[in-house]
Structure 1
Amino acid sequence: MIRGAFIGIDRHADPFIGDLTGAARDATALWAVLSDSIADLNAPLITDDAATVVAMRDVLDATLGAADEEDVVLLGFAGHGTQDHRLVLHDTSVADLPNTTLGMDELAQRFRETRARAVILLLDCCFSGGAPARVIDAGLVPRDAVAFPLVDVAGQGRILFAASSAHQEALEDPQSRHGLFTKAVIDVLLEADAPLGVLELVDRVTRLVTANAGRFGYIQSPTMFGQTEGDLVLPPGQMGVRYREAFPERVNFQTTGDIRELAAAGIPQEAVDAWHQHFPQGLNELQIEAVNEKGVLDGNSLMVVAPTSAGKTFIGELAALKAIADGRKAVFLLPYKALVNEKFEDFSALYGDRLGLRIARCSGDWQDQVGTVLRGKYDIAFFTYEKFLSMSVASAHMLNQIGLVVLDEAQFITEPGRGMVVELLLTNLVSARQRGVAPQLITLSAVIGHANHFDRWLGCGLLQTDHRPVPLVEGVLDRTGALTRLGPNGPETIQLLDRFAIRQRGQRQSSQDVIVPLVRHLIDAGEKVIIFRNARGPASGCASYLAAELGLPAAQDVIDALPEGDLSQMSESLRRSLEGGIAFHNGDLTRDERVAVERGFRRADGQIRALVATSTVAAGVNTPASTVIIAETDFPGRERQPYTVAQYKNMAGRAGRLGFEAEGKAILLADTPMERNQLFRQYVQGQPEVIRSSFNPNQPGTWVIRLLTQVRDVPRGAVVDLIANTYGGYLAALQNPAWRDRMVPTLERLLDRMIADGLIEEDGDNLRLTMLGRACGESPLTLESAMRLVELLRRVDPADATLEALLVLVECLPERDEDYTPQTRNGEPRWQQAALGRFGHGVGRALQHRAESDVAFYARCKRALIVSDWIAGEPTNDIEARYSSNAFVRVGHGDIRGYADGSRFLLESALRIAAIVLERAEDQEAAALLLTRLDLGLPAEALPLSALGFPLTRGEILALFRSGHLNREAIAALPADAVAGIIGRRGHELHEAMQPLMGAV
């Protein structure tokens, strides 16, 4: 038999005994979870005024006193104690402590005398005195002291598990209204999927409490006394009937899946009607669970991990509309500028036009609505990760306006480079809770492995599934035409293609030999196909040979939607491929071209039968297919990086169009049967990688300066707490409780260096960033990169440090050196002379600063020249031809656009740092002009044409500029045919659009 009792006391009859906020709640929660989990548990719950001294002794008689040799006794106590070894009950009197408390000596005697096989006492109170007032400021409340001889209570088969060691506070967290210790016990039990040994419970709880306390700047180390027998286990925890009765606030709004029911949750009827029209089948299982079980419409934070097309994005939309209905603002964070623009346009059409909501975007380009967002004049806003981080740090009040944050593609936290940004912006949100700012957080992730405490760090529920609305069959195909796939009964091999259909088409074997017959086979079966290639060149080349060999009808609808003017080589390749019914999607296409391709491929009756794409299509772009073909399993480069299992799974997940197919198919290509079997084991049967932090404890400088921007002053000894609040710090503390102590010497050396470099100033024991330090910390630059920029600025003659010169100097930063620059093997020295001639010797020679080699220096010159040509309005095709060395080393539109975007991203920070180092005011108007030119690729004189009120492409603007027609009056004065003669088929639309504007003028 399992006997027990759970006692929790917040309220005391004696006015001189302070109240607690979570002790009764702790006892109730622990009682409910264990009672719901252990079928034969006989355990009363005693709280507040029922928890008298007499009642306490009675329950000890009924448990410890009545137990026999087969019984296990579970006891829990949460509340106050005294420094002379007594537990404080509801009727304890400060004037008569000996007779109105329960002495630990009495409890120890009862432990010794009981015949129970085992006793477990969970004691959530602390053994030091009161905590200093600053604990309350941190959002934590100490429980008073219980300092008693623990060894006397414990023994063989007698386990006392206390919330903290003898000289530490046991802390409460008012956000959850639980003690850290009890909440950890409950969390560990609920997460268990098998019976849990007591020693394992102790280990997990200790790690979790230590890590959570460290995030708030405190040390709390749960301590176990006694010895356990080998078979002493607890079952996995459940939130059953008792728990739901005890905590009715955890009972969420319920739905059967009929979207029309959502109006009862407070979502505007107009949105419900729009959703019902779009999704007449209603919510799917994942969405129903998010609402019913996880309370996403009740303000609960949630991490959703699900395959592509599982419906997780709509969970974010549900939460957003509910937040807005409650008078809160919602923001969506996305990895790419293109996704921000796509979602902005989709939401503007549905929620802006139909519901009258104010939709905004901030992605780091000239269309940004930064001022609108900072003034709170929006309902839904879309950000790139980087833009949200910089704005939320520089304008901390922005977080006070936000009621919901939806982070899409959360798996990017594991990506090199991007991972730090994701982790820092989430750290900022987690830290804000300590000052009462706690927006609901929804993180949406594609397929990952184990969550690795990520949800716990965020304080989110976890909803993870591998279920897909359209089942996916994965397999590997080799050059013999044999396909090994994962069938219902395990691996099976079939002959998918006739081996004679696969023939060598070039001088040597290549993936083309397999792709052509495979795509023909699939298209003949009526399927739509995506072929994933690992780089831009292979993607366009693959589309070209498929168009030539398959003989499909032209995708004329897409050709007609493509922009005219300023065509790149890739633009012309796209048109040729579309003539054969094939499209490709890569970074060398313009945004308008990519959008035309995406829309054409999405259409059920569209004329694009196959799309060849790079891996970015797998990250949120809405392009579902019947079958996905993955041609390679690694990325090209000096050191070929193999795909992770998660990357493969996300590409494979694009297969299966909801409402069109009974199943999707993903086919990975191999050369030989041996490789087929190896890839099948590695990818098809492989498990996605565990989610991890990108924090590097050996290089904490960038993390420290970024985290210091989130506070005004911080005691030197508390800097380690900032690091502990990151996901990386949290994991480190879980894995090694001594991590904090080991980190301190590293941080001390780093802080001394930052003080010497003028980034930090000291005020007694407090540290704060200097103006320069804050500029560096609020920038996207690494610490090393920021200091290199400072060095450069101090070396250059201030007279030479113009805006244009600063644009050149950013090429010296490590972030730009890491960019791939197409060059011949030994570099291209001719760009050195061209750079010196164009930028002057002072700035040109500065490009050599800290270059790793001559080749790296030439690459800097080449990039700076390309960006210079771009903002001068040089035609894209001319830039490509000028800087492409040969057919194998070519510069494409994606390179040009990438260099311009990268320069713009870094230039914003460089301008602010330069103003401080050079001690001169920043010319904000001139800087804004240059940033806009980088966005649009235009000379300053052509910029007015971008503000006509009619959306023109770069090619159209340049055509008008070169013809001398620089304003709406000049354009409106021309005949419509003349305008069409200048810019192409949209000339008539432009001419017509200018007429009303002329009337207004």
Structure 2
Amino acid sequence: MAVKAIFVGINKQLDPNIDELTGAVRDAKALNALFMDSVPDLSAQLLIDEHATKEAVSKAIFGTLTSATADDVLVISFAGHGSPDGGLALYDTTTADLPGSTLSMADLADAFKATQARVVLCILDCCFSGHAPGRVLQVAAQPRSVFAVERIAGEGRILLSACTAREVAWEQPGTGHGLLTFAVIQAMTGVNDDHVSFPAVADQIIQIARVEAQRLGVSQTPVFLGAVQGGLVFPRLKRGDNYQAAFPWTAVERITGQFDELLAHGFPNAVVDQWKARFQGGLNPLQLRAVNEFGVLAGKSLLTVAPTSSGKTMVGELAAVQSVVAGKKAAFLLPYRAIVNEKLEEFSERYGAAGMRVIRCTGDATDSVGDVLGGRYDLGFFTYETFLNLALGAPHVLSRLGLVVVDEGQFITDPRRGIIVELILALLLRARTRGIEPQLIVLSAVLGRLNGFENWLDMPVLLSQDRPVPLIEGVMDRSGTFQFRDVDGSTKVEALLARHEIRQRKAKPETQDMLVPLVQKLVANGEKVIIFRNQRGSAQGCARYLAAEIGKGPATSALEALPDQDLTAASQDLRTCLEGGTAFHSTNLLRAEREAVERGFRDLNGGIHVLASTTTLAAGINTPASTVILAEQEFLGEDGRPFTIAEYKNMAGRAGRLGFNETGKAILLADTSMERARLFQRYVMGAPEDVRSSFSDAAMATWVLRLLSQVRAVREDEIPGLLVNTFGGYAASRAHPGWVPAISQRIAEFVARLLQAGLAEKEGDVVHLTMLGQAVGASSLSFESGLRMVELMRGLDLAATPPINVLGLVQVLAEMSDIYTPIYTRNRSEAARVSDVIQKYGDGVSRTLQRYGADEHELWRRSKRASILFDWVEGVPVDVLERTYTANPYQGAIRYGDIMSIAEGTRFHLRSAHRILAALFPDQPDFLTALDVLLTRLEFGLPEAALPLAGIRPRLSRGQCLALIQIGVVTLDQLSALDDARLQACVGAAMFRLMRPKTASGTPS
């Protein structure tokens, strides 16, 4: 017999409204390779993605069916989306014209009947039921008619369909195959005989698929129809040269460290060439151990603890590219938006040339959430909170991932954000029970004793103390004596400064006395210096006085990159500093200003010799320095606590980056020799704190509610088990065997509160959250704040409530009280903010701000935040906001960083209010849409009428938008009609050239 085969697999479609799949191409390539390796004289066609157009697939299938003879056996396999009207969705299928752009199953059935082929085996790994994330198109407001697949089958016509007419064809997260294709491969490669016979193998295929579906927690039963007189026999499928060529990455075991070796494993040439240019010596010892000893290129998970600049990020990059090459997605989770934005820019430049699609999700309006939900990306960068919200709201996001990299893993110990990191990890661990097991890589520069953290994660630890750039750490006192640990580990003392060089400059000794001569000396030796300060004002002032002292010229490129509209009180200070070769970095700067400072400092010839910064710069932003100076050892404005050793090590680790310095130096400042010795022992010689969960008994209600939002339903007696699945619960139950029984009573009381509040329902002994409970549980709020929000939202008369009033109501949350809001308490001038609220929002909001335990000063803070936000979204310039809300420049001054903290915190928690309102008032879509608009206004600080300006690419700054608003331009049509001179006056020459390049270059537009 002559065997002819057509294998079609489509992950990606032209229509952006169609979700991408991850395993359809893999299905087609695998079956094609296995049949090629196993069936002699096979004639096969492989059509995948852009090659699988309607014309190409129709020509291949109908042409083969028409030309077949009575001796031919035809195998036709399709993996991809099915359409609701019973068609196969092809690469160029459009949701606007399904009948005209899909391959009709009715036409296919007619062709099967007409062909002269002896046997036709049709494998359909798709469905027509209309459920996501199965392999079916989602088409709004269209009937989901079901094709009667029985029409294809008959004598000599065998149909193997993924599921029944009303079920979903699922993809298997582990292998990346559809469940049906996985079962076909398992059954046809795993037989003991040398041959595979249809229909004898059908039962095994159906059983394998059903078992795997149950493991995922779903129901899927393949359908086998038709018969062949005498049976249909194929050789047992085997993995040979064609399979190895199709899936080269499956064989990655050990490499010597040269990047060219990766080409044989399917890594793109563009990526390998880029790595060779960046790392001329190949993989370093840490990265080579990760590959050869720990199997990161074989999909194995790993906890990597290694110093800053040791190359641990490259471990995640290697695994990420491997995941993408294998047809899966990779997600990097990071603590701050600034780092996400930096990584997006860096990775887009690095991997865009290889065709990889890099996206970000940080909670901004410009995020690529739609691409994530639709699977239209390869590498994604997420803040912790955004990833958790997406994974809870759209569980199929997890099933598409081949890799999750959690960077800055030490954040699990953070008192405020540790719960988010721990819930993410618990979610990933729990997903394993459903067969969803992306590779997990956790990276950290500073972790102490692990306390079973690695056992909870069930992954090995790659621990390294080696830094490619050695680091000297020490403490200098006011005599200039520097006690330090040298690169060989020995303790030494030397005079870093002479005593006479440190002179008191003001009435009392100050840090400035030590910083000025020390920085002068370092800069004179050609060093770049970062100075960490514990307050925004201190960083700003430090950069200002050093600019006058170090004797350097201007940082021209950074000055030229600064914006000149909607400036802040800090903006002029920054220009003054840059004129003297210094800069500061804090939230008081506009985003464009911070980015200009970062680029200028990274550039060896950028002219910024000294950067004074708040401590957030330590968390991963790429700012290499020769020397790092820590001027303080404690936080201010938070809780006044001392730095942890891990926080100190993170800041110290910014010194001496690979490719910039041969040796880095970290200097902690002390007043006396006694303090010098104490700080040396605590910070330089100390080990980072042990890994501990941020879980506490006091927060148990919040933890339980968050965990319940991750499961569909659970018996009440199983709820303690959810807590044990967290690291905190795991550690507590190990330390105290009676811990679970001890908390059972508290959990029962908590469940009763949930039921009473309408957040949960109980059926028998099974508890599940209501829609409202899901909204609160998946929110950013504690349990008590969630109840407070529900109470507030339930009491709203939406018909009489302007959506903007929700901005004021959110200020009563405990989470908003945690946001530093400067007020002047020496007199009653701040009491005027209460009147502001009444004028802007009305009496109702003012009365609400007085509830929930507010004292007089707390009322002032709430009112001040609410008033600032009202003006911010109305487009009031920043400098006006700063002047208006600063009651006293020395106490209670409002700066841009305060405004942004208030706006960002409100926007974050307003998303929770949005979900709660959606659950309470599902019949009020207009109000919810208005809240969406309000979220966008909060992000851009613009009135609603001007929001079209925020969607322009390249993105306009707020100042540029306000300049356009001032001349009456708020729509895109008005912008297009604006003459060149007025446009350039509003947006500046650089942006004008980007917006109208032909005009700017002298060519008539």
TM-score normalised by length of structure 2: 0.73
Tell me what 2:291 maps to. Answer: 291
**Cα 1:570–1:912, aligned 2, differ >3 Å: closer, same or farther?**
same
Show the counterpart of 1:532. 532
Corresponding residue for residue 802 of structure 1 = 802
Shift in CA distance, 381/659, structure 1 to aligned 2, threshold 3 Å: closer
Distance in 1 between residues matched to 2:847 and 2:601, nearest whole Å: 49
Q: How does 1:600-639 map to 2 (within 5 A)?
A: 600-637=600-637, 639=639
Q: 1:629 to 1:436 in 2, by over 3 A?
A: same
**Partner SS for 1:391:** helix
Q: Distance in 2 between matches of 1:818 and 1:471?
A: 39
- Structure 1 pair 587–554 and aligned structure 2 pair: CA distance change class (3 A): same
Aligned match of 1:887: 889
Which range is displaced more, 983-992 or 728-737? Answer: 983-992
Partner of residue 896 from structure 1, selected from 856, 876, 899: 899
Can you list the C-alpha shifts for 1:835-864, whole angstroms capped at 9, x where unaligned?
Answer: 111110011211111143110111000001
Matched, 1:848 2:850: yes
Give, in angstroms, the shift of residue 866 of structure 1: 0.8
| Distance 1:566-1:733 versus aligned 2 partners, 3 A rule | same
TM-aligned CA deviation for residue 273 of structure 1: 1.1
Residues 1:376 and 1:991: Cα distance change in structure 2 (over 3 Å)? closer
Aligned to 1:944: 948
Cα distance in 2 for partners of 1:447, 1:682 equals 15
1:122 match: none
In structure 2, the partner of 1:445 is: 444
Following superposition, the deviation at residue 818 of structure 1 comes to: 1.1
Q: Deviations over 1:410-440 (max 9, x none)?
A: 1101111110000001100000001111000
Deviations 1:726-776 (A, max 9, x none): 111111122122221112112111111211121111101111111211110
Residues 787 and 298 (structure 1), Cα distance of their counterparts in 2 relative to 1, 3 Å cut? same
Q: How much does 1:506 deviate?
A: 1.7
Aligned to 1:409: 408
For the residue of structure 2 that corresponds to 1:803, the secondary structure is coil
The whole-number CA distance in structure 2 between the counterparts of 1:946 and 1:459 is: 45
CA separation of 1:947 and 1:394: change in aligned 2, threshold 3 A: closer
2:835 matched residue in structure 1: 833
Contact 1:310 1:467 in 2 (8 A): yes
Preserved contact between residue 360 and residue 380 of structure 1 (Cα < 8 Å) = yes
What is the SS of the residue equivalent to 1:504? coil
Q: String of CA shifts for 1:766-821, please: whole Å, max 9, x gaps.
A: 11111211110111111111101122234454444332111211111010011110
Aligned to 1:907: 910
Alpha-carbon deviation of 1:613?
A: 0.8
Partner of 1:748: 748
Residue in 2 that maps onto 1:34 = none
- Please name the residue that 1:739 is paired with: 739
> Residues 602-623 of structure 1, C-alpha deviation per residue, up to 9 Å, x if partnerless?
1122200111111111111000
Residue aligned with 1:641, SS:
coil
The residue number in structure 1 matching 2:872 is 870
The question of whether the paired residues in 2 share the 8 Å contact of 1:540 and 1:573 is answered with yes
Give the corresponding residue for 1:706.
706
The range that moved more, 262-271 or 763-772, is: 262-271
Aligned to 1:261: 261
C-alpha distance in structure 1 between counterparts of 2:989 and 2:540, whole Å: 26
Counterpart in the other structure of 1:577: 577
More divergent stretch after superposition (609-618 vs 342-351): 342-351
| Pair 1:953-2:957 in alignment | yes
Provide, for residues 58-93 of structure 1, a one-character-per-residue CA deviation record: whole Å limited to 9, x for no partner: xxxxxxxxxxxxxxxxxxxxxxxxxxxxxxxxxxxx
Alignment match, 2:423: 424
**Equivalent residues of 1:948, 1:967 under 8 A apart:** no
Mapping of residues 24-63 of structure 1, within 5 Å: none
Give 1:335's aligned residue.
Answer: 335
The answer as to 2:816 corresponding to 1:816 is yes
| CA distance in 1: counterparts of 2:363 and 2:809, whole angstroms | 20
The alpha-carbon deviation at position 662 of structure 1 amounts to 2.3
* Structure 2: distance between partners of 1:820 and 1:800: 32
Asked if structure 2 preserves the Cα contact closer than 8 Å seen for 1:485 and 1:493, the reply is yes
- How far the C-alpha of 1:996 sits from its partner, in A, is 11
Unaligned runs of 5+ residues in structure 2 are 1-173, 175-248
CA–CA separation in structure 1 for the residues paired with 2:283 and 2:560: 37
Aligned AA (1:933) = R
Quote the Cα distance in structure 1 between the aligned partners of 2:704 and 2:995: 55
CA shift in 2, pair 1:590/1:638, >3 Å? closer
**Equivalent residue, structure 2, for 1:557:** 557
SS of equivalent residue, structure 1 residue 666: strand
Report what 1:859 is aligned to: 861
Once the two structures are superposed, residues 935-972 of structure 1 have per-residue CA deviations (whole angstroms, 9 ceiling, x without a partner) of 11111121112233332111011101111233455445
In the alignment, structure 1 segments of 5+ residues that lack a partner are: 1-174, 176-248
| The 10-residue stretch of structure 1 (629-638 or 407-416) with the greater mean CA deviation from structure 2 | 629-638
Query: CA separation in 2, counterparts of 1:981 and 1:489?
Result: 59
Aligned partners of 2:954 and 2:995 also within 8 Å = no
Q: 2:925 corresponds to which residue?
A: 922
* Shift in Å, 1:981: 2.4
Q: Deviations along 1:134-161, whole A, 9 cap, x unmatched?
A: xxxxxxxxxxxxxxxxxxxxxxxxxxxx
CA displacement 1:326-379 (0-9 Å, x = unmatched): 111111111111111111122222212x01112221110111111211111111
Matches within 5 A, 1:965-976: 965-976=969-980
Residues in 1 aligned to 2:557 and 2:784: alpha-carbon distance in whole angstroms: 50
Q: Following TM superposition, by how much is the alpha carbon of 1:563 offset from its aligned partner in structure 2, in angstroms?
A: 1.6
Q: By how many angstroms is 1:709 displaced?
A: 1.2
Instruction: Please state how far the C-alpha of 1:978 moved relative to its aligned partner.
Output: 3.3
Letter in 2 for 1:952: L
Q: Do the aligned partners of 2:840 and 2:870 also contact (CA within 8 Å) in 1?
A: no
Report if aligned partners of 2:758, 2:773 keep a CA contact under 8 Å in 1: yes
Superposition deviation, residue 982 in structure 1? 2.8
Number of the residue aligned with 2:778? 778
Structure 1 counterpart of 2:544 = 544
Partner of 1:302: 302
Q: Is the 8 A contact 2:532 2:629 kept in 1?
A: yes
Q: Rate the CA distance shift 1:359–1:665 in 2: closer, same or farther, 3 A.
A: same
Q: How does 1:362-377 map to 2 (within 5 A)?
A: 362-377=361-376
TM-superposed deviation, 1:451: 1.7
Deviation, structure 1 residue 306: 1.1
Is the contact between residue 810 and residue 907 of structure 1 (CA under 8 Å) also seen in structure 2? yes
Q: Distance in 1 between matches of 2:291 and 2:774?
A: 42
User: How does the TM-score come out when normalised to structure 1?
Assistant: 0.73
User: What do the CA deviations read for 1:674-697 (whole angstroms, capped 9, x no partner)?
Assistant: 111111111111111011101113
| Secondary structure at 1:534 match in 2 | coil
* Percentage of pairs with the same residue: 47
Please name the residue that 2:513 is paired with. 513
Contact in 2 for aligned 1:796/1:842 (Cα 8 Å): no
Give the CA deviation at 1:460: 1.5
Give CA deviations for 1:468-492 in whole Å, capped at 9, x if unaligned: 1111111100111111111346322
CA deviation map 1:88-115 (0-9, x unaligned): xxxxxxxxxxxxxxxxxxxxxxxxxxxx
| Number of residue pairs matched by the alignment | 756
Counterpart of 1:388 in 2: which secondary structure?
helix
Q: C-alpha displacement at 1:922, in angstroms?
A: 3.3
Q: Which amino acid aligns with 1:965?
A: V
* CA apart distance, 1:265: 3.4
Whole-Å Cα distance in 2 between the matches of residues 865 and 816 of structure 1? 14
* Aligned counterparts of 1:779 and 1:657: Cα–Cα separation in 2: 39
8 Å contact kept, 1:626–1:664:
yes
Matched letter for residue 357 of structure 2: R
Matches of 2:650 and 2:994, distance apart in 1: 42
Does structure 1 retain, via aligned residues, the 8 Å contact 2:335–2:408? yes
Partners in 2 of 1:783 and 1:920 — Cα distance? 26
Judged with a 3 Å threshold, the aligned counterparts in structure 2 of structure 1 residues 970 and 715 are, in CA distance, closer, same or farther, namely closer
Aligned residues of 1:714 and 1:767 also touching (Cα < 8 A) = yes
Cα distance in 2, alignment partners of residues 995 and 706 from structure 1? 55
Q: Is the 8 A contact 1:252 1:292 kept in 2?
A: no
